[in-house]
């Protein structure tokens, strides 16, 4: 656990910059990704919980950002991280162009179960990915909890012919995950849990319930690299390291998490800089030969200026930062003085 004291708010605000980065393709219902970056003693870090998340949830993301900016990451076991391509909920004929943005990637994660699309569109998209990647490529699908039990069962049957590596978060809650895992176990397609880990009051509940075969682990929503590693270790399941459509600054945190993992059995969801039409650095963490490097990112001042969010959005993010900082400082059970930052986040 972290032994970093909570920095003063003015220390965060001193270098805080809010950016609005356009996406190449609409993703998670957005066309622009907003993020707040700031610099700590160890380097630049990122605070970028999605806009719809409440302050309690967002405060955990701030704890992770502070941990990465104020504390040296755990020792790295590797300096290059294999990553997957990420295919948004695009039409099937757009798949080849998306995959071209991920050179050398041998695995693709395909978004499915979007509220404005049909299962037939999902099947067509996955079929196009399989055709583009060939029989040796690995395909995983991510429903983001978008199906109920019957929909999930029907969809997994429909997608099974494309030789899925796993299905990520087919249903929204732990009980449903356990049930769909039971219903489809004979098919031999593993079930992965994402939201049931990173957005849960108890991130270990999904493992305790036998509701998943593997976990998707993300540093920012779990409170930082060390806390994510601790959760993965205590869960006792294989895990995939991923991210949340971050800038290259945020992806660097995920890369350091993957670098410190005892084992890395799956390609990581850390190649999403390829989905951004702009970034904060001239040397972004883009996939090369199917992998990204483990390194910190120093934003380019000119690019920060070019992507600066407008006045209203900047004020919104700075106010959010202040509220989340207050939660970390004064939240229930938060220790005072020089106690560990991770203890403040549960």
Listed residue (296, 308, 225, 321) closest to 12, CA to CA = 321
Question: How would DSSP label each residue in 226-269?
Answer: HHHHHHHHHHTS-EEEE-SS--HHHHHHHHHHHHH-S---S-BB
Binding residues: 142, 168, 194
109 is catalytic: no
Q: Which of 17, 71, 101, 111 is catalytic?
A: 111
| Dist. CA 84–CA 336, nearest whole Å | 41
Sign for the pseudo-dihedral over CA of 172, 127, 157, 217 = negative
Q: 14, exposed or middle or buried, with CB in 10 Å at 0-12, 13-18, 19+?
A: exposed
- Residues annotated in the binding site for Mg(2+), as ranges? 142, 168, 194
Question: Rounded distance, CA 16 to CA 31, Å?
Answer: 23
Q: Could you tell me which residues are beta bridge partners of residue 110?
A: 87, 141
User: Which of these, 109, 119, 117, lies nearest to 166 by C-alpha position?
Assistant: 109
Catalytic-role residue among 125, 218, 226, 344: 218
Question: Is 185 a catalytic site residue?
Answer: no
Q: Which sequence positions are flagged as catalytic?
A: 111, 218
């Amino acid at each position: 656990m972290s032994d970093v004291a909570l920095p003063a708010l003015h220390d965060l605000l001193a270098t805080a910059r809010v950016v609005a980065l356009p996406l190449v393709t609409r993703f998670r219902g957005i066309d622009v990704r907003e993020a707040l970056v700031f610099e700590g003693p160890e380097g630049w870090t990122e605070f970028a919980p999605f806009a719809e998340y409440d302050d309690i949830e967002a405060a955990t993301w701030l704890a992770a950002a502070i941990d990465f900016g104020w504390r040296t990451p755990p020792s790295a076991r590797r300096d290059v991280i294999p990553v997957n391509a990420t295919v948004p909920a695009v039409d099937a004929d757009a798949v080849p162009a998306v995959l071209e943005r991920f050179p050398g990637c041998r695995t693709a994660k395909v978004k499915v179960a979007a509220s404005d699309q049909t299962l037939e569109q999902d099947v067509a998209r996955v079929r196009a990915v399989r055709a583009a990647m060939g029989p040796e490529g690995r395909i995983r699908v991510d429903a983001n909890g978008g199906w109920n039990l019957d929909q999930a069962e029907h969809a997994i049957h429909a997608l099974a012919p494309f030789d899925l590596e796993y299905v990520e978060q087919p249903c929204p809650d732990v009980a449903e995950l356990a049930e769909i895992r039971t219903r489809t176990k004979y098919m031999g397609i593993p079930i992965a849990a994402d939201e049931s880990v990173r957005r849960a009051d108890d991130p270990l509940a999904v493992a305790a319930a036998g509701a998943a075969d593997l976990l998707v682990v993300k540093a920012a929503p779990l409170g930082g690299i060390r806390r994510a590693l601790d959760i993965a270790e205590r869960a006792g399941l294989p895990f995939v390291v991923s991210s949340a459509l971050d800038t290259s600054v945020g992806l660097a945190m995920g890369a350091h998490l993957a670098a410190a993992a005892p084992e890395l059995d799956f390609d990581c969801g850390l190649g999403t800089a390829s989905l951004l039409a702009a970034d904060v650095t001239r040397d972004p963490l883009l996939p090369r030969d199917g992998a990204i490097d483990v390194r910190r990112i120093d934003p380019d001042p000119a690019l920060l200026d070019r992507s600066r969010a407008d006045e209203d959005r900047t004020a919104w993010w700075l106010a959010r930062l202040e509220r989340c900082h207050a939660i970390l400082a004064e939240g229930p059970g938060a220790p005072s003085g020089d106690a560990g930052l991770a203890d403040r986040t549960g």
